[in-house]
Homo-oligomer: A and B are copies of this chain.
Amino acid sequence: MPNRSALPAAADTHPDDSPASLAAPRWARIATALKGRILAGEWASGTAIAAESALAEHYGVALGTMRAAIQALVDQGLLERVHGRGTFVRGALTGATMARFFRFGDAGSEIPESRIVSLRTLAAPAEIAAQLGLAAGTPVLRLLRQRGWEGKVRLLETIWLPAALFSELATLKPAEFAPLLYPMYAERYGITVSRAIDDLRFARLGAREATQLGLPEGHPALAVNRVAFDLAGRRVEFRQTLGNADDFHYRAEVR
Interfacial residues, chain A to chain B (CB-CB below 8 A): 5, 8, 64, 77, 93, 95-96, 194-202, 220, 222, 245-246, 248-255
Contact = CB atoms under 8 A, between A and B. Distances in A.
Contacts of A199: 249-251
A197 B253 contact: yes
Given A77-B255, A95-B254, A255-B77, A248 B196 contact: no
Contact of A248 (B194, B195, B202, B246): B202
B248 A200 contact: yes
Contacts of A249: 199-201
One complex includes copies of this chain to the number of: 2
A194 B255 contact: yes
Contacts of A194: 255
B254 A196 contact: yes
> Which of A194, A195, A196, A254 counts the most chain B CB atoms within 10 A?
A254
Contacts of A196: 253-254
27 contacts: A5-B246, A8-B251, A64-B64, A77-B255, A93-B254, A93-B255, A194-B255, A195-B254, A195-B255, A196-B253, A197-B253, A197-B254, A198-B253, A198-B254, A199-B249, A199-B251, A200-B248, A200-B249, A200-B251, A200-B252, A201-B248, A202-B220, A202-B245, A202-B246, A220-B220, A250-B250, A252-B252
